[in-house]
Amino acid sequence: MNESQAIWPIGVFASIDAGLGVKLEVAQELGVPTIQLHAPAQATRTRQHAEAFQQRLREAQITLTAVFGGFEGESYADIPTTARTVGLVPRETRAARTKEMKEISDFARLLGVPVVALHLGFVPHDTTDPLYAEVLAVTRDVCDHCRGNGQALHLETGQEPADALVKFIADVERDNLFINFDPANMILYGSGEPIAALKKVGRWVRSVHCKDGTWAKRPGQEWGAEVPLGQGDVGIENYLRTLKEIGYTGPLTIEREIAQEPQRQKAEIGHAVGLLNELKQKILA
């Protein structure tokens, strides 16, 4: 295997029966060697399904690199709704979702995957807010469960500016807590220029999303727009160069969060694969 194959294998965000990822067939048809998986629904998280899915992955010669948790009732309709409904931060759903996140970690273990990830939700930026201590506690709880399964926990970026995220990770005090860096989310949520953020959080980045977006007129108050890779404000070449600079060699996982007809989805992701391969050649040459 030459260097350009070993470094930055392309990936796509995929799903079986939940979430907005592409179907495994799309990854297979596009010849993508890795996927991250949105955790399937509870009824599918069984040993039998895990074994069947592993078999499909083997046949497709696809490596599963991470399982993402997601929960019933989450809505990304607008920024306030996201803050109210997403992740382990909202109090009303926290206990049930924490239990479910641990079950997802157990399912990932059945799949032999050493990484689980999630959108934690909006962590309060005021560290004296009682909610901040609660979110620290629940994150430690999930990290410790993952450790028991031999796994790391990756936090999806977006909601927090880089400095707040670094502070939060330090405060959790767990050595299996890392970052899934999503540059478009920084733009969509208006939480900071993604390249500068990546440089600050680089040492914790263990997985990434390749996703693009454009800034909102009023960042942080309204959503920016998610757009096909290469058409937004991230600056994908600069993004990859910065990943190289921080020493990141893991998968480049393409994520396209819009629900759309399969043909268009496949065409767009195929285009993203082409763009990443082109940039890989240029940058790793």
Binding site for Mg ion (CB under 5 A): 182, 209, 255
For residue 258, the minimal CB distance to Mg ion (Å) is 12
For residue 268, the minimal CB distance to Mg ion (Å) is 16
Provide the b/e sequence for 204-218 (b: ≥16 CB within 10 Å).
bbbbbbbbbbeebee
200 exposed, middle or buried (CB, 10 Å; 0-12, 13-18, 19+)? middle
For residue 182, the minimal CB distance to Mg ion (Å) is 4
Closer residue to Mg ion (CB): 174 or 211: 211
Shortest Cβ contact with Mg ion: which residue?
A: 182
Closer residue to Mg ion (CB): 174 or 209: 209
Closer residue to Mg ion (CB): 10 or 110: 10
Distance CA 256, CA 262 (A): 12
Closer residue to Mg ion (CB): 254 or 279: 254
- 């469960």: which residue's tokens? 145
Distance CA 204, CA 178 (A): 5
Q: In this structure, are residues 226 and 212 in contact, taking their beta carbons and an 8 Å threshold?
A: yes
Length of the chain: 285
Closer residue to Mg ion (CB): 145 or 209: 209
For residue 156, the minimal CB distance to Mg ion (Å) is 5
For residue 209, the minimal CB distance to Mg ion (Å) is 4
**Smallest Cα–Cα separation from 224: which of 235, 212, 215?**
215
| DSSP secondary structure letter of residue 40 | P
For residue 161, the minimal CB distance to Mg ion (Å) is 17
- Name residue 153's beta-bridge partners: 116, 177
Distance CA 230, CA 212 (A): 7
Distance CA 86, CA 84 (A): 6
**Collapsing DSSP states into helix, strand and coil, what is residue 233?**
coil
Closer residue to Mg ion (CB): 237 or 257: 257
For residue 19, the minimal CB distance to Mg ion (Å) is 11
Closer residue to Mg ion (CB): 8 or 132: 8
- Quote the crossing angle between the two packed helices 47-60 and 91-110, to the nearest 10°: 60
Tokens matching residue 143: 């990290």
